[in-house]
Amino acid sequence: MTIVRDFFIGLSQNELLNSAAKKYGLKMGAQSVVAGTNVAETMESIKKLNAQGMSCTIDNLGEFVFEKDEALEAKGNILEVIEAIHTHEVDAHISLKPSQLGLDIDYDFCFENLEAIVSAAHNYGIFVNFDMEDYPRLQASFDIVEELSKKYDNVGTVIQAYFYRAEEDLNKYKDFRLRIVKGAYKESDEVAYQDKADIDANYIKLIEWHLLNGKFTSIATHDHHVINHVKQFVKNHSISNDKFEFQMLYGFRTDMQQELVREGYNFCTYVPFGNDWYGYFMRRLAERPQNLNLVAKQVFNK
Ligand code: FAD
C-alpha cells in the first residue's frame, strides 16, 4: 500500500509529466474530478452545486511554480475568479496554494501576489483559504497568513493532522477559520506520523479540540468513520451546525455529499479547475488507488 502511495506521489512531482499534461487538456479520468478548464465552465458547475445546497471553494489548479510569469498568470486567474464569484453571486470562496503564487521564487514577491488576491476578495467579502502543502513550505505559509490576518479578516488556513506539530499550530491559530485534514504529501518520520492509525487518532483529537475551542471548523475528509464520529460528537456537546462544515473534493463520494446536505449539515465542495490538473489528480490516486476506477470509467464509458 505504501509502495503504491509513494509511486503516485512520485508521479505527482514529476515536472516533465506535469508540463506534458497541461498541453493535452483533461485526460485520464481527471474530467470527473476537475470542474472545468476555464472560469465560465467552472461557474456553471458551481451554480449546480449551489442549487443542491452546497457552498464551494474554488481552486485554480497549479503548484510548485518556479517562474515569475507563471505565478503572475495564476494571480490573474484567481483575480478573475474573484470577480466571477461576485458577478455571478455564487456561494463560493477561494482556496489557493502559496507555491503557485511564487513562494519558491521569492517570499516578498509571493506576499505581494497573495496580498493583491486577499485584498480584492476582501472588497467583496469573499473568504480566502490558504491550502497547506509539504513541510518545507509550512512555516512560510503560516507566516504569510498570520501577517495578512493583521490587516484582513477574510483569511484562513489548513492544519494537517499527520504533523507532530499540528496540535501546537492548531492552538496558535485557533481563532482562524480552519480546515482540518489528515495530510496529503509524503513526509518523513522526523516530522510526521507514518501510521494510518496514528494519523486518524490525531485527526479526531484535533477536530474535537477545535470544535470545542475554535472559531469555525471545516472538517475535510471522505472518511465516513470520521464523519460519523463528528456527527455524534457535536450532538453530545450541543455544538450548533453554524460552528462547522464538512468539506469533500468535487467528484468524490457524491452520494455522501448529498446525504450530508439532506441531513442539514453545512457542506462545502472543493472545486478544482484549470489545465494544471496532473499533480492534484496523482495525489488523489496516491490516497486511494481505487480512485483508478474513475479513470477506468472515463476510458470505457465513451
Ligand atoms: P482516507 O484516509 O483517504 O480514507 C479513509 C477511509 O474512508 C478509506 O479507508 C475508505 O474506507 C473511505 N473512503 C475514502 N475515500 C473514499 C471514496 N472516494 N469512496 C469510498 N470510500 C472512501 N491535504 C493537504 O495536505 N493540504 C490541504 O490543504 C488539503 N486540503 C483538502 C481539502 C479538502 C476539501 C479535502 C477533502 C482534502 C484535502 N486535503 C488536503 C487532502 C487530505 O489531507 C487527505 O489526503 C485526503 O482527504 C484523504 O484522506 P481522507 O480523510 O479523505 O480519508
Q: Could you read off the pLDDT of 133-188 as tens digits, one per residue? A: 999 999 999 999 999 999 999 999 999 999 999 999 999 999 999 999 999 888 99
User: Is 249 a pocket residue for ligand 1 (Cβ < 6 Å)?
Assistant: yes
CATH at residue 117: 3.20.20.220
Residues 107 and 27 in one domain: no
Supply the pTM of this predicted model: 0.91
**Ligand 1 within 6 A of 200 CB?**
no
Q: Which atom of ligand 1 is nearest to the CA of 222?
A: 52
- Output the CA 261–ligand 1 centroid distance in Å: 19
In 104-161, alpha helices (H) = 107-123, 138-149
pLDDT tens-digit series, residues 235-246:
999 999 999 999
**265 and 301 fall within a common domain:** no
CA-closest residue to ligand 1 atom 51: 221
**Residue closest by Cα to atom 33 of ligand 1:** 220
Q: Which helix (H) or strand (E) holds 295?
A: helix 292-300
- Name the packing angle between helices 68-88 and 39-51 (round to 10°): 40
- In this structure, the answer to whether residues 258 and 161 fall within a common structural domain is yes
Q: Which residue has the cell 458547475?
A: 45
Q: Domain tally for the chain?
A: 2
Query: Does the C-beta of 162 come closer than 6 Å to ligand 1?
Result: no
**Which residues are known to be catalytic?**
131, 179
pLDDT at 62 exceeding the cut of 70: yes
**Looking at the structure, do residues 141 and 239 belong to the same domain, yes or no?**
yes
CA 191 to CA 287: how far, in whole Å? Answer: 19
131 within ligand 1 shell (Cβ under 6 A): yes
Residues 295 and 184 in one domain: no
Question: What domain range is 286 assigned to?
Answer: 1-34+278-302
Please enumerate, by residue number, every residue annotated as part of a binding site for substrate: 97, 283-284
ipTM computed for the complex:
0.98
- Same domain membership, residue 81 and residue 43: yes
Same domain, 190 and 287: no
